[in-house]
Each structure stands twice: as structure tokens, then as C-alpha cells.
Amino acid sequence: VGLEVYAHHQRQYLLISAQPKEGGRVHLVPDKLRRGPDSLTPLFLRLRKSARSARLADVQQPTAERILRLTLAGPEGTTVLAAEVMGRRSNIILIGEDGTILQCAKHIPASQNRYRVLLPGYLYVPPPAQKKADPAALSPDTLAQLLGEQDAELLLWQRLVAVLRGIS
């Protein structure tokens, strides 16, 4: 998904990707994004209806989570575009004012995920929080203790990913 954002007298181009091979990403790009494949996806059609001429009202990222929420206030009402950047499980989800999923890049039925369903019409449930330590709230001693509890044969980066939230 490519969005053109005009702020502070400048045009910015935001790229949101949920491609499994690329690992999912959200970032600003310097040049105007080119049109993608000719096939119009349901997400593209619904997003075009919701986002065209909309104002970016709010941007949120829950602490140490790999989720970005863009609140769009447009002529069709307020919607939230949620980018879940989680490796091959990345997804882009358009959520209505009442919290129901309007459309998403990848449809995930209950048979594929026991924690949550990502289908239009279902209530949006964010991914479960990681049961790991918050790096901003750790002392050096606590971090050393957590790393010491991990398998000593693992590399340092592997131990960090295993114990710290928001690290990948």
C-alpha cells in the first residue's frame, strides 16, 4: 500500500508492505510510488474509498510492538489502517469506526489461527502481546539475569530476541 501524505508543506510517500518474502515493512520513500499490479485487490478498492481525500488524524504505535495504526478521517467516516509488521505473518488491515475489519491484505480464518480471525466483518483483535521483557524498563543486572537464563550456545543476538519485546 502506498500513501501520499502532505504535511509541513511537503509531500511524503509512505510504503506499507505485507509481502512474506520481504518480511513486511513500513517506511517513507523519497519518490512518488508507482502503481502496482493491474489487478485491483479488495483491500485496495476499500482503502481507496476510505482514504481518498482523508486526513491523517492520528498515528499510534503500541510500546515495543510491531504494529502501526494510522487513523484516517475522511468523507466516508473514520477508519484505522493497521500495519502489523511481523515477518511472514505481516498484514495490512482496514478497521471501521466500530472496530470491525472492513478488509485486509491476508484473510486468516479460524482454521489457520486459533487466537484471532482476520476476515471482513469480524471484530479486530490485535496480536497477543509478547511475553518478553520491555527493554526500556530493564536494569543492566536484570538484563544480564535474563540473558543468563538462555541457552549458552545461542549467539547474543538470538538470546536478545528470545527475551526482549520489540527486538527482531
User: Which pTM was predicted?
Assistant: 0.84
Model confidence at 30, pLDDT cuts 50, 70, 90, reads confident
Q: What is the pLDDT of residue 166?
A: 78
Q: How far is CA 9 from the centre of its chain?
A: 27
The mean of the pLDDT values for the chain is 89
Mean pLDDT of 3-8: 86
CB of 101 closer than 8 Å to CB of 117 = no
pLDDT tens figures, 110-125: 999 888 999 999 999 9
| β pairing state of 2-7 and 91-95 | unpaired
Look at the block and give the residue holding cell 502506498: 2
Amino acid in position 37:
P
Which distant-in-sequence residues (6+ apart) come within 8 Å of 56 by Cβ?
A: 5, 7, 70, 71, 72
Which distant-in-sequence residues (6+ apart) come within 8 Å of 68 by Cβ?
A: 16, 26, 59, 60, 61, 82, 83, 85
Residue 163 in grid coordinates = 527475551
Q: What angle do CA 65, 66, 67 make, to 5 degrees?
A: 95
Give the lowest-confidence range in 1-5, 34-38, 162-166.
34-38
pLDDT tens figures, 131-159: 899 888 899 999 999 999 989 899 999 99
